Structure 1
């Protein structure tokens, strides 16, 4: 049996990676400067952060345009398609590790640090020296400096957001099956519904943050509970934002007639990513809001 040889497309040298690296540096430097300048007032950290974000967006638009043009020109073989699938798979695995670190920090605090401070496991001296009168309960609504905050409940906006995001997974699945069946109108409708649900989720999270800061006293510096709450929900919100941008780009490509039932990995990649952020939110809703 003869094996059909396929050419592996090697793109020309590109400036996009170095442009992306510059953008990431500006974001990291700007974010660090912005946070350190918050209490001082003023400073250029915020402008550097915005510049970094603008550079990254410029890089993404240009790089995606090149990749789309190469794909539509028929330059990619089956081997190249497998490379894209492997790359997206490893990217999602790295994202699992990313959120695993934050969930691990949350579990460590709840299962070990809080009981130790409360005198469990023969740590009575630790309790008396570090924080006399500490009560080992979660969530911690009292900080060491005496600041009192409130815990965010699971009912209300968090529950509505959960329903919205889980529903968006179903609508995206229906969009995918419509694409595989060649039903372009249904594909457009289901994908549009998914984007709307994602934007509603982000709007709900913004309202939740406003309520937390203004009415509950729950802020990023409100002790370990505030830290873990905003780090987990904030990073997840960032991923939902990126996923929504991904889906909007796919929606625009569909309007231009891109993708066929046989060749649509870009759509699959967006679908994988969106289902991933939905699963992360489900875990987050259970361990951060309910338990």
Structure 2
């Protein structure tokens, strides 16, 4: 969208940045900056929460969750604005095709996201080089983990089938398979919360229980946040689909969300191999 006087789209909705700024860089939008600021708040809140434990805590335990919740709120607001600005506002008037830049944008996002996971994975493998196991570990590779893994793998398959049904022009089956993906992802998230409950409440394993558990909760917690974000994105796509949007030649949002969900699935498989099954190898 180029600069214009009204600062509003065709539907009369105000967009956050209509000036071509910085000059020469095409469409301008503040939403990615808002979303990034929210992500920073989430990471900062998690860090403050960790620093609130130990022999000499640096902060009160309430600070971390407070900052984290603010970060989540800002992140979701930015995500909504970004999604609306990029995909929704001109859907009915924009010509089909020409959306390859959004697909490559998702590829770049996922590539940078690998760096975040890679940093915590590096910490975990560094811990593995020390005396192992650092503490007595609980039964990690349980039936709950296996069921959760099955749910997420199946959800990735249902997402793929949904996309194929959309491209084949079968909207009814597309909606069914997409809804199944949402349900399976929600069940997975519930299973992960149940696992946390068993570890923290029933067995007393927390972030302060040793190096392994700081890596365990860091990796699984970060992945859980990605699952939450994925469910929000799938929910947005599902609502837009019910409203009659998307067709075989207008599916860029479905494509990018599917890419993200497959990424979440692949990362979970790596997590199971490394910190669940791998932790049992002495």
Q: Aligning the two structures, in what range does the TM-score lie when normalised by the shorter sequence?
A: 0.7 to 0.9
Unaligned runs of 5+ in 2: 4-17, 20-28
- Equivalent of residue 86 in structure 1, options 104, 124, 132: 104
- Counterparts of 1:267-282 in structure 2, within 5 Å, are 267-282=254-269
CA spacing shift, 1:46–1:155, aligned 2, 3 Å: closer
Match of 1:101 in 2: 119
Instruction: Tell me how far apart the structure 1 counterparts of residues 275 and 61 of structure 2 sit (CA, whole Å).
Output: 34
Q: Does 1:182 align with 2:197?
A: no
Q: Does 1:168 align with 2:155?
A: yes
Q: For this pair of structures, how many residues does the alignment match?
A: 251
Q: Does 1:232 align with 2:247?
A: no
Q: Does 1:249 align with 2:236?
A: yes
Match of 1:155 in 2: 142
Q: TM-score, normalized by length of structure 1?
A: 0.77
Instruction: Tell me how far apart the structure 2 counterparts of residues 25 and 229 of structure 1 sit (CA, whole Å).
Output: 21
Q: Over residues 97-120 of structure 1, what are the superposed CA-to-partner deviations in whole Å (9 max), with x where a residue is unaligned? A: 22222222222322xx32xxxxxx
- Counterparts of 1:1-291 in structure 2, within 5 Å, are 9-10=1-2, 12-13=18-19, 14-20=29-35, 22-24=37-39, 26-37=41-52, 41=60, 44-75=63-94, 78-79=97-98, 81-110=99-128, 113-114=129-130, 136-137=131-132, 139-141=133-135, 149-291=136-278
Kept in 2: contact 1:152–1:212 (CA 8 A) = no
CA spacing shift, 1:228–1:175, aligned 2, 3 Å: same
Which structure would you say has the larger Rg? 1
Instruction: Tell me how far apart the structure 2 counterparts of residues 289 and 28 of structure 1 sit (CA, whole Å).
Output: 24
Instruction: Tell me how far apart the structure 1 counterparts of residues 95 and 42 of structure 2 sit (CA, whole Å).
Output: 33
Instruction: Tell me how far apart the structure 2 counterparts of residues 290 and 93 of structure 1 sit (CA, whole Å).
Output: 25
Kept in 2: contact 1:26–1:48 (CA 8 A) = yes
Give the root-mean-square deviation of aligned CA atoms.
2.4
CA spacing shift, 1:88–1:41, aligned 2, 3 Å: closer
Unaligned runs of 5+ in 1: 1-8, 115-135, 142-148
Kept in 1: contact 2:96–2:250 (CA 8 A) = no
Match of 1:128 in 2: none
CA spacing shift, 1:247–1:210, aligned 2, 3 Å: same
CA spacing shift, 1:62–1:234, aligned 2, 3 Å: same
Q: Over residues 262-284 of structure 1, what are the superposed CA-to-partner deviations in whole Å (9 max), with x where a residue is unaligned? A: 12011011101101111111111
